[in-house]
Chains A and B, each alone.
Chain A
């Protein structure tokens, strides 16, 4: 998937086109409709839920004296379902003993505008998670760049056949489910995992690795390294060999060649790679969960646990608020990173 992201640039046609006919305009209709309903509206939903409160209420229906009653009572304070039943009957002037309850349940709906969800995003636990997410993904992105850059350079300068095989080797792990690969890492790093067994064999350890920051960052680097390698490799392989020869001819040593020629030319690929590692890293919940045995909570973990609560405790609303904040942070970060690249060919521009 990375290849397409990185190589999305195409020559622009300067050809003048004849006026678009109605039939051609209709070609856009299905996707316009689809993307409006399933891309734009969901984003609006996130905003809507982030700024609205959850209202819980008891829905109670009962019959008494041949009449049917339907009541809604706000689930405020410590009102229980049983208490609500009694209240409902009392409100209709029926004694609870006479009433035959046909339905009684706790229901939720979205209520009015509130900023309390955003306040919860600013709670200490959540602030800590955001800071950790930011720092970890920054570290993972930096490490990925340091590993991927020389690797991509070597790859781009090797023979055509070797390049093709190596591309396969890089893509292959990405085709394996990330859950399984991360789980495998967890088993490797475990207290009685392979590494600790090897250490014990050497008379060392045991070292506790799971649960450390290092393990989480390793998980991120492992999962997203190919996203850094591929775009950088793509721009590097497009650098004309004659440019490198010209640099040699003009007296560059290899360091100068790297600094004055290859680095500036590969900036679009680097920007692409940075974004493509940073975005999934900052939003992950699975990697942190597995690599820290649930001890380190990142933004993704908080969103996941809030959303899992569904309506209870306003989980959906708080989860939506956190998602919204995450989205804004990422938008700002990608915008800033794209600023560094004047060329929009290799980078993904929002």
Chain B
């Protein structure tokens, strides 16, 4: 016997040392509800010396308000002894020697001995966990979007005020419900499947990428949403924190912008159609008129009296003007259609224009001063037309009594080049500063300054193509200064 007893003694001692040193509070309670044993962690947690509690009713460690029913619960346990957690679903509190309470989690284990049945109570102080949960709850509560915490089974465990507002449920109505009550009928059925897939592979992601998501509120109103999912490991198991944003306004804006784009595309098609009409349908009868007036002029001119002859030459003139206008309109609508951005040396560009305009420069004795110009990104054909229009305007609208003098210079602004074309011509009243850029608008009589009135509207459209701006500063009889800006960074244009 003694040979057998010795190792047993040793085991008993080891067991006692282990229990005493366990980092959990362990209490043995007997059937009378008295404390039979506490380990040293209990002393630390409850601030009692073990001599003070051993032999006492376990209720000394319980806040007064729970004492009443505790004896009953304890007897219930002894009647049906099995290992379990105490008070599932309820919040448990324990009482320290100084009467302060703290939240606990309690595990119960029946121990059957020859001296009678005992219950081993293991107590975990969950103060820190509760604090963390409270912090988490506050963060969720203060989030600007609706947030819902649901468990693995899809039961809603936590919601914030934004959720109440968005879904029109009161908190108590929605807690404990399945998350599916917030999902429209047609998806409700397949949602549990999605939920399971998520819990198999939990990761932070947005829900239903590429699909339009909808939610329903208490009044069964559907609204489009964007949902972010965050898997969370909590003391209550795996959960999902969903943050839900109502995107009704954004959807509407997107819809409006889509419609607007569609309308614009339609308008653009119409414009293209218009170009076609102008180029073909209008030109056709015009050519006939032109040919017929030619015939009348060549074969019958002498047979007309003076008024008839005037009518005929006016007819020719009107036809020619109509042709010019149609061509100008066509050019206008075609601007920038087939162009590509490229690097342009403005100095070279101006030299070429000077060659094109050589005869009118010579004829008018125009003096053109050109400051060193930059290399810029732009549409070459269009920019050439822009410079050419501005220079030939400066020559065309010269004063009778002085030779045209034109200065072209440039200034570097923050993100753009600002070009300046200054002349000493007839200038203009600034009240027409906008009108001159409008198609077919002219300030001066056609017989003195022939033209269609399209040049500057070309310039304006060209600047629009370059995301730049064009404007004028002038005074009647004091010359004009035309400015235009063009981005130094082509990515911005």
Do chains A and B stick together as partners? no
